[in-house]
Chains A and B, each alone.
Chain A
Amino acid sequence: MADQAADFIVIGSGIMGSLVARRLAESGASVLILEAGPRVTRGELVARFRNSPRRSDWMSPYPPSPWAPHPVYKPQDNGYLVQAGPYPYPAEYIRQVGGTTWHWAAHAWRNVPNDFRIKSLYDVGIDWPFSYDELEPFYQQAEELMGVSGAPNTGSPRAKPFPMEPVAEPFAMRRIRERLAGSFDVVSNTTARNSRSYDGRPPCCGNNSCQPICPIDAQYHGGIAAASAEAAGAKLLPDANVFRLEHDTAGRIVAAHYFDPDKGAHRVTGGTFIVAANGIESPRLMLLSASDKYPAGLANSSDMMGRNLMDHPSTSLTFDAEDALWLGRGPQSPSSINTMRDGTFRPDHAPYRLDFTNISRVDNATRALISAGIYGPEFEKRLRQTAAHEMNVKTVLEVLPHPDRRVTLSDQKDAMGLRKPQVHYAIDDYTRRGSASGKRDFQRIADLMGGTNLRFSKDGDYANNQHICGTMSMGNDPRTSVCDGYGRAHDHENLFFASTGVLPTSGTCNSTENGVAVALRSVHHILGAVAPVAARNAVSL
Chain B
Amino acid sequence: MRIQALLILVALLAPPLSPARAADDAEVKRGGYLAIASDCTACHTAPGGQPMAGGLRMASPLGTIVSTNISPSQEHGIGRYSFAQFDRAVRHGIRGDGARLYPAMPYTAYAKLTDQDMLALYAYFMTAVRPVETSPEHTRLPFPFNMRLSMAGWNILFLDSGTFVSDPKHTSEWNRGAYLVQGAAHCGSCHTPRGFLMQEKSGQPMAGSALGGWFAPNITSDAISGIGGWSVEELTTYLRTGHAPGKAQAAGPMAEAIDASLRHMNEADLRAIAVYLKSVAPVRNSADSRPAFAWGTAGDDLPSIRGVGLPGNLDEMTGPQLYDAHCASCHQSQGQGSFDGALPSLFHNAALGRSRADNLVMVILNGLRRHPDVNMPAFGHALSDIQLATLSNYLTSKWGNPQTQITAKEIGTLRAGGAPSPLLLLARGGMLLIAILLIVALVWWQYRRLSKRQPQAIDPAHTPGE
**Residues in A lying within 8 Å of B, measured CB to CB:** 41-44, 46-48, 50-51, 196-197, 200-203, 205, 207, 215-217, 227
Contacts and interface: CB of A to CB of B under 8 A. Distances in A.
B325 A201 contact: no
A46 B324 contact: yes
Central interface residue in B329, B330, B343, by most chain A CB within 10 Å:
B329
A201 B367 CA distance: 10
B296 to A, nearest CB: 22
B373 A51 contact: no
Nearest to A194: B375
Given A41-B382, A47-B310, A216-B330, A202 B325 contact: no
Central interface residue in A47, A197, A205, by most chain B CB within 10 Å:
A47
Interface stretch (B177-185, B301-309, B407-415): B301-309
Contacts of B338: 205
A51 B311 CA distance: 13
A200 B381 CA distance: 13
Contact of A203 (B306, B369, B375): B375
A43 B317 CA distance: 11
Name the prevailing secondary structure of the A interface residues: loop
A227 B378 CA distance: 14
A462 to B, nearest CB: 34
B324 A50 contact: yes
A215 B375 contact: no
A47 B369 contact: no
B383 to A, nearest CB: 8
A43 B325 contact: yes
B454 to A, nearest CB: 51
B310 A48 contact: yes
B377 A200 contact: yes
Interface in B324-346: 324-326, 329-330, 338, 342-343
B375 A202 contact: yes
A444 B382 CA distance: 48
Given A47-B310, A216-B329, 16 more contacts: A41-B325, A41-B382, A44-B310, A44-B314, A46-B326, A50-B302, A50-B306, A50-B324, A196-B373, A197-B375, A201-B375, A202-B377, A205-B338, A205-B342, A205-B343, A207-B329
11 contacts: A43-B322, A43-B325, A44-B314, A46-B329, A47-B324, A51-B305, A51-B308, A196-B373, A197-B369, A201-B375, A216-B329
Given A48-B310, A51-B306, A216-B329, A43 B382 contact: yes
Contacts of B314: 41, 44
Central interface residue in A51, A205, A207, A217, by most chain B CB within 10 Å:
A51
A477 to B, nearest CB: 46
A202 B382 CA distance: 16
B376 interface: yes
B47 to A, nearest CB: 12
B261 interface: no
Contacts of A50: 302, 306, 324
B399 to A, nearest CB: 19
Nearest to A196: B373
B376 A46 contact: no
Contacts of A216: 329-330, 377
A47 B329 CA distance: 10
B306 to A, nearest CB: 6
B256 to A, nearest CB: 16
A71 to B, nearest CB: 23
Contacts of B325: 41, 43-44, 46-47
A50 B306 CA distance: 8
B225 interface: no
Contact of A217 (B309, B321, B377): B377
A-B pairs, top 9 by smallest CB distance, nearest first, are: A43-B325, A215-B329, A202-B375, A47-B325, A197-B375, A43-B326, A47-B324, A197-B373, A46-B325
Contacts of B330: 205, 216
Contacts of A205: 329-330, 338, 342-343
Contacts of A207: 329
B382 to A, nearest CB: 6
A47 B321 contact: yes
Contacts of A41: 314, 325, 382
B382 A42 contact: yes
A197 B373 CA distance: 6
A51 B320 CA distance: 13
Interface string B340-356: 00110000000000000
Given A46-B324, A46-B329, A205-B330, A51 B377 contact: no
A46 B382 CA distance: 13
A203 B377 CA distance: 10
Interface in B9-40: none
Contact of B373 (A43, A203, A227): A203
A197 B378 CA distance: 13
B362 to A, nearest CB: 17
A516 to B, nearest CB: 23
B364 to A, nearest CB: 12
Contacts of B307: 51
Nearest to B325: A43
B332 to A, nearest CB: 11
Contacts of B373: 196-197, 203
A216 B377 CA distance: 8
Contacts of B375: 197, 201-203
A38 to B, nearest CB: 12
Contacts of B306: 50-51
Central interface residue in A43, A200, A216, A227, by most chain B CB within 10 Å:
A43
Contacts of B342: 205
A51 B343 CA distance: 24
A218 B338 CA distance: 17
Contacts of A46: 324-326, 329
A285 B399 CA distance: 52
